[in-house]
């Protein structure tokens, strides 16, 4: 079945041109800050910008929180569903597919309406979580008026943002964990462990988690890729994340955005490359922060 190789090469080449040309053009553009000379000046500017470091760190922290929350919610759920309550599976899967039905914009809209003011919801007064003052975690900076001159939604700890990110990460986390559970035949392993005298916590600790490592890492890396590049939630909820920062630079500067694009692309590549390294060939998951 070696026919059609020329055709195959044609498509690959066309695809490669389409994908690499913009990247090359961006890279080239990012080197032209100094007139007539190719230099990394734009990159220097970016790295020296305090806001770059701050927003990137902020997004990274958000990613870590999201991973934590997501894991706490998803892993036990997937485990119980897989092992004891298979009937609930369709419901759970439907919930994890929600981010597809409710895109980030709409989700944000809903968040704000429910949590930003005291609303009466079927006659029950809901306090506004968004306007509650919470403790500040050490190292987490205050909200700053970043993207626009709108009055930022005041909140010391971005609960809603993390909640939103968690929702966005559901499909990938759940699919990663579910695939991992399926691949290791949870039921048989649990039964084998039980017959040797282990109780549930031991099983989870010694058997389930170690075997899920690859799946968990895969989900974690994907979440990082999604959260760090995310724009919609961060911008509309007015948080100083990496996404809005890039947007700000893009609106005001010429060469630095190109540098940021290259950096951002390189970061995503590194993250997903690491993912491939750790999962070594498991079918690629799909991410999309649009």
Partner 1 sequence: MTHTDSTGTPPAPPKTSSSLWAWLGLVPFFLFAIAFLLLPSLSIFINSFQAKNGSFTFKNILDLSEPFIRNAYWNSISISLVTAIGGGIFGFFLAYAVTLGGLPKFVRPFITTFSGVASNFAGVPLAFAFISTLGRAGMVTVLLRDTFNFNIYDAGFNLYSFWGLSLVYMYFQFPLMLLIMTPALDGLRREWREAAENLGANSFQYWRYIAMPILLPSLLGSMILLFGNSFGAYATAYALTSGGAINLVTNVIGAQISGDVLNNQGLGYALALGMVVIMSLSLIGYSWLQRQTERWIR
| Sites for partner 1 among residues 177-236 (CB under 8 A) | 187-188, 225-226, 229, 231-232, 235-236
Distance of CA 278 to the CA centre of its chain: 18
Name which of 143, 150, 115 is nearest 129 in CA terms. Answer: 115
The interface with partner 1 within residues 17-36 (CB under 8 A) comprises 18-19, 21-26, 28-29
For residue 288, give every residue at least 6 positions away whose Cβ sits within 8 Å of its Cβ, in sequence order, or none: 226
Closest CA to 129 of 154, 165, 166, 102: 154
Nearer to partner 1, 61 or 79 (CB): 79
Residue with Cβ nearer partner 1 (61 or 247): 247
Name the residue nearer to partner 1 (CB basis): 76 or 210.
Answer: 76
Neighbouring residues of 149: CB distance < 8 A, sequence distance ≥ 6:
none
Least distance in Å: CB of 64 to partner 1?
18
Q: Which of residues 45-104 bind partner 1 (CB under 8 A)?
A: 72-74, 76-77, 79-81, 83-85, 88, 92, 95, 97-98, 100-104
Q: Which is nearer to partner 1, 139 or 149 (CB)?
A: 149
Of the pair 139, 250, the CB lying nearest partner 1 is at 250
Strand partners, 119: 126
Give the shortest CB-206-to-partner 1 separation in angstroms.
Answer: 19
The correct pick among 60, 64, 68, 114 for binding partner 1 (CB under 8 A) is 114
Nearest approach in angstroms of CB 46 to partner 1 is: 13
**CA–CA gap between residue 271 and residue 263 (Å, rounded):** 12
Which of the residues 132 through 161 are near partner 1 (CB under 8 A)? 148, 150
Smallest separation, CB 49 to partner 1 (Å): 15
State the number of binding residues for partner 1 (CB under 8 A).
97
259 in Cβ contact with 103 (< 8 Å)? no
Name the residue nearer to partner 1 (CB basis): 91 or 206. 91
Minimum separation from the CB atom of position 65 to partner 1 (A): 14
| Smallest gap from residue 92 Cβ to partner 1 (A) | 7
Least spacing, CB of residue 140 vs partner 1, in Å: 21
């Amino acid at each position: 079945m070696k026919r059609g190789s020329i055709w195959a090469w044609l498509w690959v080449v066309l695809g490669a041109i389409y994908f690499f040309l913009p990247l090359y053009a961006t890279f080239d553009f990012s080197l032209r800050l100094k007139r007539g000379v190719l230099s990394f000046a734009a990159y220097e500017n970016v790295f020296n910008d305090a806001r770059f470091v701050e927003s990137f760190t902020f997004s990274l922290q958000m990613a870590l929180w999201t991973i934590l929350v997501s894991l706490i919610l998803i892993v036990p759920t997937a485990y119980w569903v897989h092992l004891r309550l298979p009937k609930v599976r369709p419901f759970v899967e439907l919930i994890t597919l929600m981010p597809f039905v409710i895109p980030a914009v709409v989700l944000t809209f809903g968040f704000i309406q429910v949590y930003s003011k005291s609303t009466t919801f079927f006659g029950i007064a809901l306090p506004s979580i968004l306007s509650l003052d919470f403790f500040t975690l050490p190292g987490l900076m205050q909200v700053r008026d970043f993207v626009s001159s709108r009055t930022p939604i005041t909140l010391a700890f971005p609960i809603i943002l993390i909640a939103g990110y968690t929702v966005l990460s559901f499909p990938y986390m759940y699919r990663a964990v579910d695939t991992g559970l399926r691949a290791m035949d949870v039921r048989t392993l649990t039964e084998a462990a039980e017959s040797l005298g282990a109780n549930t916590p031991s099983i989870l600790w010694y058997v389930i988690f170690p075997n899920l490592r690859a799946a968990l890492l895969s989900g974690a890396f994907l979440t990082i890729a999604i959260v760090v590049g995310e724009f919609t939630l961060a911008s509309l909820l007015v948080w100083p994340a990496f996404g809005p920062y890039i947007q700000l630079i893009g609106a005001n500067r010429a060469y630095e955005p190109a540098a940021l694009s290259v950096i951002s692309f390189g970061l995503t590549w590194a993250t997903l490359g690491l993912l491939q390294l750790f999962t070594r060939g498991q079918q690629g998951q799909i991410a999309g922060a649009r």
